[in-house]
Amino acid sequence: HMASARTVIRSLGGIGACNSFTRIYLSIFGQSDWEDCPAVPPEIVLLPDWFPFHIYRMSAWSRTIVVPLSILWAFKPRCPVPDAARLDELRLDSPAPEARPSVGTRERLWRRFFVILDRTVKLAERSPWKPFRRRALAAAEAWVLAHLEKSGGLGAIFPPIVNTILAMRCLGYPMEHPALVSQIEELERLELEEDGALRIQPCFSPVWDTALALLALKESGLSEDDPDLLRGAAWLVDREVRSVGDWRYSAPGVSPGGWFFEYENEFYPDADDTAEVLAALAEVRFPDPRAEERRRAAVERGVAWQLGMQNPDGGWAAFDRLCDNEVLTWIPFADHNAMIDPSCEDITGRTLDALRRLNRREHPAVARGIAFLAGKQEADGTWYGRWGCNYIYGTWLALRGLESAGVDLSAERWQGAAHWLRQRQNPDGGWGELPRSYDDPSTKGMGPSTPSQTAWALMALLSAGHARSDTAERGAAYLLSQQLQDGSWKDASSTGTGFPKVFYLRYHLYATYFPLWALSLYDRARRLPWRRQIAERHRMRHSRAADFEETTP
């Protein structure tokens, strides 16, 4: 596997082609030069709120990565490795010229500006006179420490946790300092040791998984007061955010509410998790009046927070409002492709579904959400999937949201999405899409079948009214054929998305609760017309009997 990795790395340009964050880590170990790393000066923490490049104009995940990273860049630590551990074999003798896509005049001018700014900052860095450095380092340190409160590590995700550990060591924190010990423990919690190998997962996803599992179980026929559902719902209610986080900078008038992704991450509730938790809590009822009141109160606060996070374009982003300044994506250290957090088709569709379950279909936010989705539909009928791979995911959630909002999906434009899904069905009856569709949209909807993506496609077809089609029947048959002996399913590839074009995820439970959910909906949709016919016959029989009773002495 190491030889295979070496071949791939060299084919992609070797060390010289790695992104900025990787280059900084390599520089720490003497495998790259700090001069080749983009400038990330800690003084950015001191920029005023109105400044275009203030840290609160970055996406939440970039913010948590960049602030401790700026401390690293200021100290430029070095930890040389022995010659046997050097990576010289990954260097190319004559690096291939970097392929640059054609860009517009605006982007070209901004990129040129940032290159000049980067060189200017590096030139100033050579001077011993740095009037704001001490203050900037103190501000960055204070920001990091404050954000460790009620958090499973900074941002509760791997990159900021690692950067925080290294930054604290640069600042002179002893290994036994409680703050440093806590971050090392959070890093160790992410370790997975299996089959003699140690892997690091990027984060935990318990809130997300619990909400989705509850909905799948409820759709499969459990009652609203089923004890297992209530245990999961109570666990979610306990994790409601009740304090102000970073989102307040973009939504100053909004009160705390919502849910985060991990076990603990109070500063960063997100609209995706909040929508799914709201949908799950809408489907349960606690027999105990006090527990039921807690559920209702949490839901009301969550709805208010979610509505307050809607963007002016009608869509919902993940963590912040108005975080869509494209200029930030052209900063030299922004090559992780995630500097901004614009409105997403998938989150918007999910939110519309949650509002329907909570009887908020008539709220003005719903009409704005419909307009956003209508404007984002692509020519072939699909929608982009930001947080799942990719157009299958986005198309499912867009159709689900539109159906929930009361849109008549029999219109030709919406049926175009169903037509696209039918065209992308694999011969085995399933659907699949590889992450390469983010780089090359011509491959959208193409890939080996997976249970989770097949479930998304099947649920999309159900929303579009194709429950009794051969396409849906073959999709359901594929899921039935792939179920394992223990009742679960398994995806052979990653179907979740971290950063498009950069980082992808495998949610192991995706391959279980999504197929269960899809098959439950399919079963209900197939039987619903017959149930309606039986109910209508029953009503007519009773109506005729009543007429007879009225006219017979």
Q: Catalytic amino acids?
A: 272
DSSP 3-state assignment of 543?
helix
DSSP state of 96: P
Q: What are phi and psi of 151, to 5 degrees?
A: -140, 140
Instruction: Provide CB contacts within 8 A for 510, sequence distance 6+.
Output: 452, 491, 495, 496
Instruction: Provide CB contacts within 8 A for 95, sequence distance 6+.
Output: 13, 14, 16, 17
Cα 72 to the chain's mean position, in Å?
27
Angle in degrees, 0-180, between the axes of helices 364-376 and 391-404, rounded to the nearest 10: 150
What distance in Å separates the CA atoms of residue 23 and residue 33, rounded to the nearest whole number?
8
What distance in Å separates the CA atoms of residue 152 and residue 164, rounded to the nearest whole number?
13
Q: How far is CA 12 from CA 182, 417, 503, in A?
A: 37, 35, 16
Strand partners, 496: 388, 505
Q: How far is CA 312 from CA 182, 369, 541, in A?
A: 39, 10, 53
Q: Which two tokens stand for residue 191?
A: 């370790």
What distance in Å separates the CA atoms of residue 421 and residue 424, rounded to the nearest whole number?
5
Q: How far is CA 244 from CA 157, 256, 341, 381, 450, in A?
A: 20, 6, 19, 39, 39
Q: Which two tokens stand for residue 316?
A: 């919902």
Cα diameter, the chain: 110
Q: How far is CA 446 from CA 421, 476, 504, in A?
A: 11, 19, 17
Peptide bond just before 390 cis, omega within 30 deg: yes
Q: Which two tokens stand for residue 499?
A: 């950063």
